Each structure stands twice: as C-alpha cells, then as structure tokens.
C-alpha cells in the first residue's frame, strides 16, 4: 500500500481523510504548546463563531493559537464545514 500525503507527495495515494491537517502539521510537536483533546479544559480553550471560524478563547493562550495554526483548524474547508453544521442546528433567529 502506498502512503504519504498527496499534497506533499502527489504521486502517492493516501487513504487518510485527515490528510489536509496531517500534511500541514507534518511532524511538529511541542509538549509546552500541545493541547490534548483528552485534557479536561480542551473545550474551554477554543470557541467557534456562527461563521464557522475557530478562535482561542483567551487571547493570551499561546498553546491554543498554536494548535489552530499547526493543525490548520482555520482553513476555509473546515470553516465552511463548521458553518454548515452550525447552520443546520440553529435557525436564522438564533
């Protein structure tokens, strides 16, 4: 089976649905700037706007800002998908 990311190595096939984020992140890891999705405060460190945009809840939270950047959580595709999901839950009067 061929592996690799088609964004970086277009001649290879990749079955990972998370390729965009995985490719963007590459092999980055910094223990001091990493937020585990299992952390008790993970949900409180990010907020989602009705437009689908993601932000760090506290402007001084460097780890949250870094995770958004390194995991490419603010790319247009994810923003649009979040907006579609939010629109499906809340009506226009919300």
β-pairing, 54-56 with 46-48?
antiparallel
pTM: 0.71
| Secondary structure class of 70 (helix, strand, coil) | helix
Confidence (pLDDT) at 22: 54
pLDDT tens, position by position, 8-33: 445 455 555 555 555 667 788 899 99
Predicted confidence (pLDDT) at residue 70 exceeds the cutoff of 60 = yes
Domains of the chain, by residue range, sit at 29-89
Q: What torsion do the CA atoms of 34, 36, 41, 44 make, to the nearest 10 degrees? A: 80
User: Please, what sign has the CA dihedral across residues 80, 86, 92, 94?
Assistant: negative
């Amino acid at each position: 089976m061929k592996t690799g990311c088609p964004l970086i190595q277009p001649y290879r096939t990749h079955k990972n649905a998370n390729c965009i984020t995985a490719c963007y992140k590459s092999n980055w890891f910094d223990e001091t700037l990493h937020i585990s999705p299992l952390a008790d405060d993970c949900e409180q460190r990010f907020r989602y706007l009705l437009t689908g945009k993601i932000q760090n809840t506290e402007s001084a939270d460097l780890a949250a800002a870094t995770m958004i950047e390194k995991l490419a959580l603010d790319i247009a595709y994810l923003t649009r998908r979040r907006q579609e999901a939010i629109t499906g839950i809340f009506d226009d009067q919300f």
